[in-house]
Amino acid sequence: MASESISQESSPASRPARAPGKRPRATNKDADDENRRKDPKISRACDTCKRKKVRCDGTLPCSNCTRRKTNCAYDAKYGRGRPPTPPSATAEQWQEGLRRDHSNDLGVSQQRHYSATTDQRHEESLNRDHSNTLCVWQPPPPIVREASGSHIHSCASPEQEAEGQYFDPTSGLNFLHRAWKKLLMQKDGSSSHDSNDAERNQLLTSAGDRPLHIDDDAPENFMPDALTARKLQEFYFETCVVTYRMFHRQTVEGWMEIFLKDQRDKMPFGRSLGNSRTAILLTIMAIATLRLEKVNKAVSTEDESLVLQRSDRLFCAGMTLVDREMGFPRLESAQARLIQVLYLLQTGRMNKGWYTFGNAFHITLSLGMHRRRDLKRDFPFTSRRQNYINSECYKRTFWAAYIIDKYLSVVFGRPRLYQDEDIDQTFPDSVNDEDMTPQGSTASDDPADCHIDALIFHAKIARIIGKISREVYSVNQLSNQDRLNAAHRLVHELHEWRGSLPPHLGTVKPSTLIPSFRRQALALQLAYAHALIHANRPFIMNEVTSESITQCISATKTSLELVNRMAGDTTLFHSFWWTHYVIFCALAVVYVWEIQRTTRSSYEIDDQMFDLAEKCRGHLRRASTGLSQNQRYSVILDELRSEAQKCRISRANPQSLHQGSLQGGEASTNTDFGFPFMHGADIFGSGLEPLPQEGVMPNVLDSFLFSDWQTLDSSAFFPLPDPNSVSPTCYPTIP
């Protein structure tokens, strides 16, 4: 019966008669075939579509770049003869590309206004194109639309702009959006410091940080006794200081004796030494108190709070003295604020540390620390002989500030304050503190290993890191080839820097060195590995640059191995305030590469490296007690790791995710891919999205840009919106 009915429906007699002279209506399939035959042949795709391997219509701008509001350029090398000039997109094509994303929320009247506006902007863009020899198109600014009589910011649209970045459903930053959303949804203050009102309702320079334990009690009531104070000072110089050696130890020890004498005589704070020198001593004791507790035992959340109360008391007493400092700035004024920055960074008060460093930066410039001193022209020293210790401390302090500036700019994803073209200061002499006198150095012509070498070489690599941030991550419109050339040149400089290290910092095995030199050697090794990652990671999104990929993955593995080794020695793991960022940076590269790479990639991360990554992720999570940025790091990495997990499993078995979802969340013991896997839900509790019918995992990083790496760096410090604010932060909502 079924076959009979089908034959009857398809028979000529069953079809209605058509009027004579009329052609039969073409079916949808016939129309599609006809249109496909009429499609023009595209011989050149724009740089963005070529990099993403997606179909491009070959116009300037193309429809894909128009829809994403990204720059459309045809700068890539063309290897098939003379490159054809891309035709300009017609007004209809240009409007259609923009109108496709906004047709759902624009009314008829708004569409008319939008069409007139885009026509005018299109005409202006064509005029700019004809006057410029480069094939580059700039996207129009975001449009503020009206709906129901009320003004709506462009951030409310499906494609939004926040902090200079466009966000849309295809953005490579969607995993960050989900992480930020999780942070916003957490209500328990003990699990997320971002939701803690005490952190939110602070002064602008401290907003988002853990509040300081400010004690109204008089400083004399919580000062350590003389014996404890001397032990804390000794522990600071022996263990806490690694490369930021800006003090002359014997001078500071002399200050301590004056401080203790004033304390015995019940003299007011700062009477004999002055505010800045007294603040330096108090901050030294605060850092040593905190570090001593972490080195001697594993500190729980409750114990850490008690330790912080003791160290914060000392720090806040010193901060009060600095805030009340009178007169013109001196060397100790800059040193006091720099050591406060180091304390704030070690306790996770990153925002307060950033603003405090800005104050120290301006003091160093006002003192002229960035310029070489000339005895013939420098007025303060023309009438008396220059003090050698003070002169060297000027240099040490400046270069310590220079290093901190370069690392803060990387961690925060913000511009650098010191500009190399304004600096001609020389490096300090390679002289140990005990060999320095006011008249000069007493070291022999063939000195032994020097502790100041680490400061000098750390400053040199910091200068290269600054160049990488300026040239590879430039905000200017540079081609990928120009950025790649800069990266290769700067990587060569890094290799030369590595070869110039003295034996005790480079070739000698760190385990054979004394503790102070061992910490310095590992700090510089970690700085070198991170610098290689920083220079090469933008190019792992393009597998053509195999050399950059190899160096980036190799440096990532080295970083993870160093961190894992340091975690076994608390004196090492807690020595560097930026260790947690290095872990975050290295793990992000592991997960991004796993998401990005294809099954035919020339460099595949093995399971051993994933096991190492899991260990370091555990170190970061255990070190996150009380540190809000570490908790954010963990949440962000969880989202990125979940995406990497899906991609790795889908490549090994494209149907595994479908089968897992059909089994209703049944647990699996499959760990062949380096990740424990739960069918139907990932290990963080969010359901796995089903794969497309073709069984191909979409690449969530297809739209990842150079600037997105800096956004990822600063993601733990993104200003989450305050729901009680009158003008809340523009925050991208996640559908």
Question: How many residues can be counted in the chain?
Answer: 735
- Helices 452-471 and 480-499: crossing angle, nearest 10°? 170
> Residue 465 belongs to what H/E stretch?
helix 452-471
CB 364 within 8 A of CB 209: no
Domain ranges of the chain: 44-76, 224-374+386-440
Q: H/E/C letters for each residue in 625-662?
A: CCCHHHHHHHHHHHHHHHHHHHHHHHHHCCCHHHHHHH
Contact 410, 713 (CB under 8 A): yes
Tokens representing 350 are 């990153």
Report, as ranges of residue numbers, the positions in the chain whose pLDDT lies below 50. 1-23, 26, 37, 94, 98-171, 187-195, 375-377, 379, 381-384, 599-600, 657-698, 721-735
Rounded Cα distance, 530 and 465, in Å:
9
Place of tokens 């949440």: 635
**What is the Cα 101 distance to its own chain's centre?**
31
- d(CA 550, CA 556) in angstroms, rounded, equals 10
How many angstroms separate the CA atoms of 585 and 570, rounded? 21
656/670 Cα distance (integer angstroms): 11
CA–CA dist 493, 489 (Å, integer): 7
Strand 440-441 to 436-437 pairing: antiparallel
pLDDT in tens, 62-75: 888 888 777 888 88
Cα radius of gyration rounded to whole Å, the chain:
31
**pLDDT tens-digit series, residues 596-638:** 775 445 566 677 888 899 999 888 887 755 556 777 888 888 8
Give the whole-angstrom CA distance, residue 356 versus residue 544: 43
Cis peptide before 380 (omega within 30 of 0): no
CATH superfamily of 44-76: Zn(2)-C6 fungal-type DNA-binding domain (4.10.240.10)
What 8-state DSSP symbol labels residue 687? B
- In the three-class reduction of DSSP (H, G, I as helix; E, B as strand; rest coil), residue 135 is classed as coil
Neighbours of 299 (CB within 10 A): 20
pLDDT at 661: 42
Q: What confidence score (pLDDT) does residue 728 get? A: 39
pLDDT at 717: 77
Q: Which residues pair with 535 in a beta bridge?
A: none
Distance of CA 207 to the CA centre of its chain: 19
Judged by DSSP in three states, 146 sits in strand
Q: Backbone phi, then psi, for 136, in 5-degree steps?
A: -130, 135
Contact 304, 579 (CB under 8 A): no
CA neighbor of 225 nearest in space, from 263, 255, 262: 263
Helices (H) and strands (E) in the chain, counts: 25, 8
